[in-house]
Amino acid sequence: MADLEAVKVSYGFVEVFSTQKRRAVEMRQRPIRDRIYTLKRLRLIVEQHKDEIRRAVYSDFKKPALEADLSETYVVISEINHAIKHLKRWARPKSVSGNVTYFGTSSMVRYEPKGVCLIIAPWNYPVNLLLGPTVSAIAAGNAAILKPSEVTSHTSTLMKRLINDNFPADELYVVEGGVEQTQALLKLPFDHIFFTGGTAVGKIVMKAAAENLTSVTLELGGKSPAIVDSSANLKDSAEKIAWGKWVNNGQTCIAPDYIMLHPSKKAEFVSELKTAINKLYPTDQRSLSEIKDYSRVVSDRHFNRLESMIKNAVESGADVVHGGKSYAEERLIEPTIIINLPEQSDLLSDEVFGPILPIVEYESIESAIDYINSKDKPLSLYVFTKNSDVTEEILAKTSSGTACINDCVLQFMQPNLPFGGVNHSGIGKAHGEFGFIEFSNQKAILKQRVGLTSAKSLYPPYNNVKQKMVDFMMKYI
């Protein structure tokens, strides 16, 4: 409590939080059309500021305009359109049937807004991962405080302006800042926290939420493997993996983190992968730094981390078979493929989250499955194969938040699929109806008739007849 008092004194957003708390009660009673209105307003603002979004993410890490459109603006608009189209159905109370015990009653699930939510975003898709969950929060009827990442400062400032200038603060409000501000926000008794970021910070968020028994959605990271089975079309697999890995410069939570490959296919696959990289980022006429389609590592901290991953790998005897050079002044690292890594290498233990792709060899599908199961459950798992038995075996014997067969990353954008991890890669699900449910309290309501009820007939004092009734009910439940 003393902590909370200190937060109240130091931070202006506490006042906003209090007004949102008051407003949330009123918002709970508002018709669905009001939420649709807010969603349309958000869509208009995002559409009108498409160019500013492009400029902000370019300033932050030289993200190409087309990728900004596709992976920031388009994704948010598509999430909004999907919500507008289906919200009435999602929000409709759902009647549920009973059994003989509930004769004469009716039951339903009603979706009520959780109240005031906190949405904390990372830097890697700084618009998409801030506004995407906001769409679900609005659809479910909540007020929310949004905390963009301080690492992508241009986008953070833009998000603050777009939201705070266009929405009432007691409904939606952006608070900028880093660790200190986020930890202060986490002291407030929010009704739900939706956090996207690294696993270590996810634990901090969950511990803070526990103080207020606030529910959490944790969209975390980790190492997402891609198994390229010996039956796979290697050219097709390499093209898809090259795109999924190096889009956004490898800074995608569901990018293939490492490849698992049968040794007999290594030479051919590596050759196809190099061809695919050269097709995406052709350096025969220009240097890599002149190629506009290749983003940069977001910060010096991440640049140094990635550079030392390459250095450590080389020192431990691994082989860089493509790329490997880095340019600190530009935070530019070549698309890099590394093979023959010792198992204790940090490239195989830590999430890479950058433009380096380690390749691990496996002897059999069983040993590949054992390897994956020896690590934390991944956010995504990719299988490249023509063999449906192999697909089924891998899916059945491993656990991951999402999986994609013969492609990668695309599962994120399928609006009818839940998105999220499992254990270390996350808790809870996002997107579409799953996001709506995440931000809703599924209130269980049972309506009883007035007068004689089957329940009343079992009230004490108990006797043989009542015992027989219970015995009969036990048979038919």
Q: Which stretch in 61-69, 167-175, 218-226, 283-291 sits in contact with ligand NAD by CB under 6 A?
A: 218-226
To the query of whether residue 117 is one of the catalytic residues in this protein, the response is: no
* Near ligand NAD by CB under 6 A: residue from 16, 76, 116, 121: 121
Give me the least distance between CB of 378 and ligand NAD, in Å please.
Answer: 10
Give me the least distance between CB of 202 and ligand NAD, in Å please.
Answer: 7
Total residues contacting ligand NAD by CB under 6 A comes to: 28
Tokens of 243: 């795109």
Q: Which amino acid does the sequence have at 142?
A: N
Going 188 to 191 to 197 to 198, the CA torsion angle's sign is positive
From 67, 79, 171, 219, active-site residue: 219
Torsion-angle region of residue 409: left (phi > 0), alpha (psi -120 to 50) or beta?
Answer: left
Give me the least distance between CB of 235 and ligand NAD, in Å please.
Answer: 28
H-helix or E-strand spanning residue 378: none
Residues numbered 324 to 353 that lie near ligand NAD (CB under 6 A) are 351, 353
Residues numbered 393 to 452 that lie near ligand NAD (CB under 6 A) are 421, 426
In 3D space, the residue among 207, 17, 55, 38 whose CA is nearest the CA of residue 131 turns out to be: 38
In 3D space, the residue among 36, 30, 123, 32 whose CA is nearest the CA of residue 80 turns out to be: 36
* CA angle, 49 then 55 then 56, to 5°: 90
Tokens of 245: 């890995």
Q: Should residue 117 be labelled a site residue for ligand NAD when binding is judged by CB under 6 A?
A: no
Q: Should residue 178 be labelled a site residue for ligand NAD when binding is judged by CB under 6 A?
A: yes
d(CA 384, CA 210): 40
- CB neighbour class for 461 (10 Å; exposed up to 12, middle 13-18, buried from 19): exposed
To the query of whether residue 253 is one of the catalytic residues in this protein, the response is: yes
Q: Should residue 220 be labelled a site residue for ligand NAD when binding is judged by CB under 6 A?
A: yes
Residue, CB closest to ligand NAD: 221
Q: With contact defined as beta carbons under 8 Å apart, do 277 and 356 qualify?
A: no
* Near ligand NAD by CB under 6 A: residue from 24, 184, 273, 379: 379
* Near ligand NAD by CB under 6 A: residue from 76, 159, 162, 201: 201
Q: Should residue 198 be labelled a site residue for ligand NAD when binding is judged by CB under 6 A?
A: yes
* Near ligand NAD by CB under 6 A: residue from 20, 38, 73, 124: 124
Q: With contact defined as beta carbons under 8 Å apart, do 189 and 214 qualify?
A: yes
Residues at the interface with ligand NAD (CB under 6 A): 120-124, 129, 147, 149-151, 178-179, 182-183, 196-198, 201, 204, 219-221, 253, 351, 353, 379, 421, 426
User: Which residues are tagged catalytic?
Assistant: 219, 253
